Chains A and B, each alone.
Chain A
Amino acid sequence: EAGVAQSPRYKIIEKRQSVAFWCNPISGHATLYWYQQILGQGPKLLIQFQNNGVVDDSQLPKDRFSAERLKGVDSTLKIQPAKLEDSAVYLCASSLVRQGDEQFFGPGTRLTVL
């Protein structure tokens, strides 16, 4: 079974530029998550989708971050404009809908903002 796919793996941009990340979840997983992991910290949830609807985006900085999951499958996360503090690894995860189900993570995108 294929895992969660993410691209690109690495991205370097200058502050105030825009950037987008792509995620394709495990086939059949209705729930998709985007996490931000700053160096030395645990991942923090940015947004959660169930199918193509947003379940939780309370921790998403909506003035600069946006995400969509068209057709309830793959998803994109965008930052516009980027700030230095956005340097982090952006992890995508997916899971089935059942309570307590484990989340399966992709390899992440390492973003460096100069």
Chain B
Amino acid sequence: AQKVTQAQTEISVVEKEDVTLDCVYETRDTTYYLFWYKQPPSGELVFLIRRNSFDEQNEISGRYSWNFQKSTSSFNFTITASQVVDSAVYFCALRVDRGSTLGRLYFGRGTQLTVWP
């Protein structure tokens, strides 16, 4: 069975602080994909990053960085120098393209990030 756990329900920081959102996943498959999505108050899920299970290289995109560690089944997301516009719910998701679940995303419960000015 596939499962994604985001243990942090809510995080509050002050602008310019760094913040890390945790994501732990469970799967028995060796080929899988991990995603992060942002859901601002408008409600639309915005794709941030995809990582496949064979690529453990960390990635940096501007103020965003992702740390993928298969040894701990974690795919954590760090925002450096947070801004008020980063306030949103962030979802981590797992995808296993196999059989009848081809394409299905398994989402965590999300982490509500609030950045105060």
Interface residues of A (CB under 8 A from B): 31, 33, 35, 40-45, 48, 55-56, 58, 89, 91, 93, 95, 99-100, 102-108, 110
Which of B50, B93, B97, B102 interacts with A42 by CB under 8 Å? B93
Contact of B105 with A45 in the complex, beta carbons under 8 Å: yes
Contact of B103 with A31 in the complex, beta carbons under 8 Å: yes
Given contacts A56-B101, A56-B103, contact A40 B47 (CB under 8 A): no
> Cβ of B100 < 8 Å from any Cβ of A?
yes
Binds A, one of B13-21, B61-69, B77-85, B107-115: B107-115
With A42-B93, A99-B97, A103-B47 given, name 8 new contacts (CB 8 A). A31-B103, A44-B107, A55-B102, A100-B95, A102-B47, A103-B105, A105-B44, A106-B44
Q: How far is the CB of B64 from chain A (nearest CB, A)?
A: 15
Interface residues of B (CB under 8 A from A): 4, 33, 35, 37, 42-47, 50, 52, 91, 93, 95, 97, 100-105, 107-110
Which of B37, B42, B50, B102 interacts with A56 by CB under 8 Å? B102
Q: Which 4 A-B pairs have the closest CB atoms?
A: A42-B107, A105-B45, A100-B33, A99-B97
Minimal Cβ-Cβ distance residue in A for B34: A100
Given contacts A41-B109, A100-B50, A102-B35, contact A48 B44 (CB under 8 A): no
Q: How far is the CB of A19 from chain B (nearest CB, A)?
A: 18
By a CB distance below 8 angstroms, the chain B residues around A41 are 109-110
By a CB distance below 8 angstroms, the chain A residues around B104 are 45, 48, 56
By a CB distance below 8 angstroms, the chain A residues around B101 are 56
Contact of A55 with B44 in the complex, beta carbons under 8 Å: no
How distant is the Cα of A110 from the Cα of B37 in the complex, in angstroms?
19
Q: List 21 A-B contacts (CB under 8 A).
A: A33-B103, A33-B105, A40-B109, A41-B110, A42-B107, A43-B105, A48-B104, A55-B100, A55-B102, A55-B103, A56-B100, A56-B102, A89-B43, A95-B103, A99-B33, A104-B47, A105-B37, A105-B44, A105-B46, A105-B47, A107-B44
